[in-house]
Chain A
Amino acid sequence: MRKDTARFSDFCERLDLPAEAAGAAKLTITDGKQTLVENHRGLLEYGADQIRVSTGRGQIILRGSGLTLGAMSDRELLIRGRLLSAEWE
């Protein structure tokens, strides 16, 4: 399944189609105070200073202060609080 998603993602990339259409995770940061993660695969760690989010093909590590989960659905994740760094592993 994970291999198929990766292949479809590569295929979309060759056709110049947006990667998120193939289910790739997308990170949108607004003014460093609000972070939206689309196409996530769940929370791995949740804390006020660090939040780890699974993307299926890796994970996103968000570090900051006063981080809180504003809203969560099976596809999207809204995080509020001061974001200091975002790492993609």
Chain B
Amino acid sequence: MNRIERRIKGALRYELCGVQPEALLNACALEGLPFSELEIVDAYTLRLTIPEDERARLEALAPRCRCELRPLGGTGGRTARRALRRRWPLLLAAALLLLGLLVSSLFIWEIELIGRESLSRGLLLRALEDAGVAPGAFRPGLDADEVRSRVLERVPELAWMTVNVRGSRASVLLLERSDKPEIYREKDAADVTAKCAGIVRRVSVLNGRPLVRPGQAVLRGETLVSGVMDSLTNAPRGVRARAEVLADTWYEITALCPAGRLKETDGGTAQRRYALVVGKTRVNFYGKGGKALDGYDKIIREHRLAVKGLFSTPLCLVCEELRPYEARAAAFSAPEELQQRLFGELNAQIRGEIVSASFSVSEGDALLGVSLHAACREDIAKTVDIIP
């Protein structure tokens, strides 16, 4: 008899004494009376456990085998039911808790946004709330198609979205709209022009008529490859010129920043305060004496009463940690940081490589200037439509 079965059906423990207690075991086996957990106390005494409903049969068998039975107690079954009857408030609390969990699972208490990249969380949550998805929303009343339509209408930056509700947790899958690529028709005539000034080093023409040669200096906007092709038999025809034009270019970028800055330093012992959020209602345990947040770093941790992936409840314990800090003036000691940012900025601008770079630092009235002087080799081709 395993433990679970014993708990449900109930089991009784007996001590049996007699000249030959084995006779009772034989009688039990013959009668098909199951027993377990046999324990030898001495040569004339044994202890055994039987199912609760076999009590009468065992008590009838014992005198026939000249054994005396002594009950030692019981587990589960009637014994447990009697004990529970005495502790009815416990039962009531358990039933109320279960009922609360069942009822709370019909509502949404947690919203998870998956796939958010650039859109703000607040904007999306407001749009979802307007569409009916908010903490406390009745789950069976949600129509995913309607929510999708309303949110997509409200947030045009979204390309697609869906709401999956599992327990009390609503997972909102989002796909943000990507920028539309440049669309052109192959038959539209276009020139290739220089996107910046430089000295041409190599010209690779795929379509069109080249107008520049390696070693030639060009200015910004100058046509490098023409989209107008001459014909011996017909009038000139327009094509979409395509080319790669490698050129040496030069850049100078300057960034300014304050010469000094404030730096936070540890200002003492951190303090904690707690609040309980029930649905949309917040109960603060620190009264109305909230601290002004000047001079404090505030770190918020939320602990929701939930089992992840299974269920969620409206109860959420909020722990706020206030760490005091002191702002002290500190010298801006890192023009290297600015140099790296300038370097990164230039790399993002060009379609090529930086051949050489140098920096110069200048100090003005409370301002620090860092300039980047760079020589690059890059593709300066830029397609420009010919307007007829």
A residues near B46, Cβ cutoff 8 Å: 46
Measured in the bound complex, the distance between the Cα atoms of B30 and A47 in whole Å is 20
Contact A43 B22, CB 8 Å, known A72-B29, A73-B29, A74-B30: yes
Tell whether A72 pairs with B35 under 8 Å between CB atoms, given A43-B22, A45-B22. yes
Q: Let me know if A46 and B30 touch, CB within 8 A.
A: no
The answer for the CA separation of A30 and B212 in the assembled complex, in Å, is 95
Interface residue B229 (Cβ < 8 Å from any Cβ of A): no
How many residues does chain B have at the interface if contact means C-beta atoms less than 8 Å apart? 15
Q: A44-B22, A45-B22, A46-B25 are in contact. Are A69 and B32 (CB under 8 A)?
A: no
A68 at the interface (CB under 8 A from B): yes
Chain B contacts for A84, CB-based, 8 A: none
Total interface residues on A, CB under 8 Å, equals: 14
Say if the beta carbon of A42 comes within 8 Å of chain B: yes
Q: Which residues of B contact A43 (CB under 8 A)?
A: 22, 25-26
**Main DSSP-derived SS at the A contact region:** strand
Contact with A along B20-39 (1 / 0, CB 8 A): 01110110111010011010
In the complex, how many angstroms separate the beta carbon of A66 from the nearest chain B beta carbon?
A: 10
Tell me the smallest distance from the CB of B29 to a CB of chain A, in Å. Answer: 5
Instruction: Tell me the bound Cα distance from A62 to B377 in angstroms.
Output: 95
**Chain B proximity of A75: nearest CB distance (Å):** 9
Interface residues of A (CB under 8 A from B): 42-48, 68-69, 71-74, 77
Instruction: Other than A43-B26, A69-B25, give 20 A-B pairs with Cβ distance below 8 A.
Output: A42-B22, A42-B23, A42-B26, A42-B29, A43-B22, A43-B25, A44-B22, A45-B22, A46-B22, A46-B40, A48-B40, A69-B38, A72-B28, A72-B29, A72-B35, A73-B29, A73-B32, A74-B29, A74-B30, A77-B29
5 residue pairs, one from A and one from B, having the closest CB atoms: A42-B26, A43-B22, A72-B29, A69-B38, A46-B22
